[in-house]
Amino acid sequence: MSVFFGILLIYLIILLVKAAIRITIRLVNALIGNSGSTQKPISTPLRIFLIVMLGFSVALTIMSLNIEDAGYSTLVLIPIAVFYFPSVFAKFSIHLGLVNVSYYLGKIALFRHHKDTLGGAIFFGWLASNNHSGEAHANHINWLEKKLWHSREPLGSGSIVMHVLLKQEIADDADIYNLLKHLRYINPNRLPGDIARYASRVMLAKDLATNDWKVIHPTLKQWAPLGYNPLVKWLSNHHCKHIEKKKTPYIWVDYILAGAPRWGTHLPKLQQVALPPSLKNKTHATLNAIVQAEWWADNQEEFNYQVLDRQWKLLLDSEAFHSTTQKRIESLGCFDTEGAYKDILNSIEDQQSIRDTDLNFENTANYQIREGQIKRLQIIARSINNRQHVENPMAAPHELEEWLSVAQLLKQLGTDEHTKSQAYHIIQEACWNWIVDLYKIREEKTLVYLISKSLYPYAKRYGEEKFAQMLYGIYQGHYE
Amino acid sequence: MNPASTNSHPTMLAWPFWILQLTPVASNKDIEKAFNRILAEITMEIPGAEVYPTPKGDQTRDEFSLREARNLLQTPEKRALAEIWYIAPQQATPEKDSAIETPDLDWKQLLGVMK
C-alpha cells in the first residue's frame, strides 16, 4: 500500500515541478518583455484534469498518512490506479480487443490525449477494433464513427485524422494516402502525438515501397513539424546524410529512438532521377541509347519528353551522325541517298509528333475530366453558400468531408495555371463565408485552421490580400 | 502478323530484324538463311518456332510476315530505316540499378500499420 502511495507522491511532485517550470518560463518571458508568441495555452480538458489530479493526490497523500487505520482494499485502489494511468490499462484493453473500454480509457488518458480527447479515444477504440474481423469489426467501426459524428465537441486535429483512418475499411490505401496528404496543414497543437506517429507510418509504408526519396521526402516534411516523431526524424536525418550529404553526427541517437529498425539497411541511398537509364550520365547520347530511352519512356506514367527531344536534337545536329548515316545508306546501295536520309529524319520527327499527339489525346480526355471537376467544385461552392445561417447545421465531420473534396479538386485542377486560378476563384467567396461561419458560430477552430492554412498560399498567389490577411490571422490565432 | 501493322510508332520500324531474329550487321545471305531456317521450323511445327521476342514482348509470326520482313530488309531504304530504330528486344527492359533496387518488403507490417 505504502509503495502505491509513494508512487502517487512522486507523481504529484513531478506535476508540481512541471507546473513550477511552466510558471517560471512565463514569468521570465513577461520580465524580458517577450509576450510569448510561442506560448501555448493549456487546453480546457487538461486544466480540469490537472485540477482533479491535484485534488486527488492531495487527498490521497493526506489519507496515506493514516493508511493503516483507513483499511483500504485493493478493490478501492484499482479505479484510482485506472484514473491515474489509463494509458497503461488501455494497452491491455487494446490487446484484448475491448473497443468500448479502450475508447473510454482513451478519453480519460488526458496526459496523452489532452490535445484532442475525442480523437485519442477513437484512436484507442480503433486499435482495439483491429483485433476483430468480419461483422464484429464492422460493428465496432460503426460505433466509433457514431461517436465521432454525434460528438458535441468541436473536431480536433486527432479527430480529423481519425475520420480519415476510419475510412480504411471502405477506401483503398491510395485514397487514404491522398486524404492524409491533404491534412498537411493540420493544427499540431490539437493533434495527439500517437495519432500523428501512426498516420505518418501509414503514409511512409506506401512511400518506402517506392524506394524513392523524391516520394518519401515530402511525407517527412509533412509530419516533421507535427509533434515528436522519432521515425520521421531519423528518416529525415538519413536523407540529410545520404542525399544532401550533410553532417549528421547524432543520427545513431535518432536510429535508437526510432526503435532501431532492422529494415534501416534497405533504405535507398540514392535519389532516383526521372531519366531513362540509357541516358544517365550522358551529355551526348548515342542513337541506340536514345531509341532505348524512347521505349523506356513509353512505359512511364509521367515523363518529360523534353529530355528526349533535347537528345534527339543534339544527335541530329552532330556531324558524326550525319556522316555515319550517309555512309551506311550508301553502303546499303540506296539509289536516292538524300531521300533515304530524309526518310530517317521524317521517322524521327514522326516519333516525336506521334507521342505528342498521344499526349494531346490524353489532354482531350483530361479536358472532359477537368470540366467535370470544375462543375463539381461549383456544386460544392453553391452547397456551402446555401447552407450558411441554416437552423440545423451539418455535423462537423460532414463539413470536413466537404473540405476534403474541395482540397482534392483543387489539387486535381492544379495541373496548369489557368485552371488552378479558375478553380480557386470558384470557391474563394464560398470559403470566405464558410470559414467565418465555422469559426464564429460553430467554433470549429481546428477545422478552420486546416482550411485557412491550406487556402492561404492560393490567396497570396492570386493577390487576394484581404482574404490572405484573414486566413493568416486565423491560423496564427490573432482572432479570438 | 507483323507488329508494325498494329502500331504506327516509328519505334516499331525495326520489326523485320526482330521477326528474323537478326541484328543490323546481318548480310543478305544471313537474311536468306534466317528466313529459310525459321520457315522450315514453322512448317515442321517445332514448338516455339512461331514465337519471337520483341521489345514489346513475345509476338507470333507466320510465313507471310516472314516473307514481308525478308523483302523489307532486302530493300535498302527500308533496311536503313529499320537499322536506325533497331534495339535488341532485351534492351527495352533494362536491368535495375542495384543501388536503387526496390526491396521486396512488407512495409505495412514492418511499420506496424494495420488494415
The residue behind cell 550517309 is A326
Residues present in chain B in total: 115
Which residue in the set A263, A277, A340 is minimally distant from B105, CB to CB? A263
Contacts for B18 with CB less than 8 Å, ≥ 6 apart:
B3, B52, B53, B54, B55, B59, B89
Grid coordinates representing A372 are 467535370
pLDDT value of residue A44: 61
Q: How far apart are CA B74 and CA B31, in angstroms?
A: 8
Q: Which residue of A has its CA nearest to B90?
A: A292
List, as own/partner pairs, every contact residues A39-44 make where C-beta atoms lie below 8 angstroms and the sequence separation is at least 24, other chains included.
Answer: A40/A189, A43/A114, A43/A115
DSSP assigned state of A191 = S
Report pLDDT digits (tens) over B20-33: 999 999 999 999 99
Grid coordinates representing B7 are 502500331
Q: How far apart are CA A93 and CA A79, in angstroms?
A: 15
Task: Give the B-side interface with A, CB within 8 Å.
Answer: 8-11, 13, 55, 76-77, 79-81, 83-87, 91-92, 94, 97, 99-103, 105, 107-108, 110-115
- Has residue A168 got a pLDDT over 90? no
Q: How far apart are CA B30 and CA A440, in angstroms?
A: 84
Model pTM above 0.80: no
Instruction: Measure in Å the smallest separation between the Cα of B57 and chain A Cα atoms.
Output: 12
Which residue in the set B77, B87, B94 is minimally distant from A288, CB to CB? B87
> Across residues A251-255, what is the average pLDDT?
89
Report pLDDT digits (tens) over A348-359: 888 877 676 554
Nearest-10 Cα torsion for A432, A433, A434, A435: 50
- Has residue A198 got a pLDDT over 90? yes
Report pLDDT digits (tens) over A443-467: 899 999 999 999 998 988 888 889 9
Secondary structure of A20-47 in the HEC alphabet? Answer: HHHHHHHHHHHHCCCCCCCCCCCCHHHH
Cα dist from A431 to A207, A391, B49, B60, whole Å? 32, 19, 67, 59
* Closest residue by Cα to residue A387 from A430, A449, A426: A430
* Closest residue by Cα to residue A148 from A195, A188, A112, A97: A195
> Across residues A24-29, what is the average pLDDT?
69
Residue B59 pairs in a beta bridge with B52
Q: Which residue of B has its CA nearest to A278?
A: B94
Instruction: Measure in Å the smallest separation between the Cα of A181 and chain B Cα atoms.
Output: 17
Chain A residues close to B98, C-beta within 8 Å: none
Which of A19-33, A163-177, A236-250, A315-329 has the least mean pLDDT? A19-33
Report pLDDT digits (tens) over A77-97: 667 777 778 888 899 999 999
Residue B57 pairs in a beta bridge with B54
Chain A residues close to B101, C-beta within 8 Å: 211
Which of A18-27, A370-379, A403-412 has the least mean pLDDT? A18-27
pLDDT value of residue A376: 92
Q: Between A117-129 and A157-165, two packed helices, what is the crossing angle to 10 degrees?
A: 30
Report pLDDT digits (tens) over A286-323: 899 899 888 888 776 556 677 788 889 899 999 999 99
Q: Which residue of B has its CA nearest to A295?
A: B92
Across the interface, whether the CB atoms of A347 and B77 are under 8 A apart is answered no
- Has residue A124 got a pLDDT over 90? yes
Chain B residues close to A329, C-beta within 8 Å: 76, 80
pLDDT value of residue A394: 84
pLDDT value of residue A65: 57
Cα dist from B64 to A172, A235, B10, whole Å? 48, 59, 21
Using left for φ > 0, alpha for ψ between -120 and 50, and beta otherwise, residue B47 falls in beta
> Across residues B87-91, what is the average pLDDT?
88
Please report, in angstroms and rounded to a whole number, the separation of the first and last CA atoms in chain B: 47
User: DSSP readout, A109-175?
Assistant: -HHHHTT-HHHHHHHHHHHHHTT--HHHHHHHHHHHHHHHHT--SPP-HHHHHHHHHGGGGTS-HHH
Chain B residues close to A339, C-beta within 8 Å: 77
Q: Which of B18, B78, B84 to mutate to test the interface with A (most CBs of A within 10 A)?
A: B84
pLDDT value of residue A8: 64
Grid coordinates representing A106 are 482513451
pLDDT: is A304 or A338 the higher one? Answer: A338
Residues present in chain A in total: 480
Across the interface, whether the CB atoms of A296 and B110 are under 8 A apart is answered no
Average pLDDT of the residues of chain B: 84
Chain B residues close to A328, C-beta within 8 Å: 80, 83
Which of A111-120, A265-274, A434-443, B6-15 has the least mean pLDDT? A265-274
Q: How far apart are CA A169 and CA A135, in angstroms?
A: 12
DSSP assigned state of A293 = H
* Count of other CB atoms within 10 angstroms of residue A404: 19
* Closest residue by Cα to residue A182 from A425, A402, A365: A402
- Has residue B79 got a pLDDT over 70? yes
Grid coordinates representing A408 are 482534392
| Helix, strand, coil in percent for chain B, rounding step 5 | 55, 5, 40
Q: How far apart are CA A235 and CA A241, in angstroms?
A: 10
Q: Which residue of A has its CA nearest to B111?
A: A201
- Determine the Cα angle at A261 with ends A259 and A263, to 5°: 170
Q: How many helices (H) and strands (E) does chain A have?
A: 23, 0
Average pLDDT of the residues of chain A: 82
Grid coordinates representing A147 are 461517436
Contact (Cβ atoms closer than 8 angstroms) between residue A164 and residue A171: no
pLDDT value of residue A362: 47
pLDDT: is A219 or A34 the higher one? Answer: A219
Which of A154-158, A294-298, A420-424 has the least mean pLDDT? A294-298
Instruction: Measure in Å the smallest separation between the Cα of A160 and chain B Cα atoms.
Output: 18
Across the interface, whether the CB atoms of B92 and A263 are under 8 A apart is answered no
Question: pLDDT-based confidence at B98, cuts 50/70/90?
Answer: very low
> Across residues A396-407, what is the average pLDDT?
93
Q: How far apart are CA A276 and CA A292, in angstroms?
A: 8
pLDDT: is B102 or B15 the higher one? Answer: B15
Chain pair A-B, CB pairs under 8 angstroms:
110
A471 class by beta-carbon count within 10 Å (0-12 exposed, 13-18 middle, 19+ buried): buried
Report pLDDT digits (tens) over A180-193: 999 999 999 999 99
Grid coordinates representing A299 are 512505359
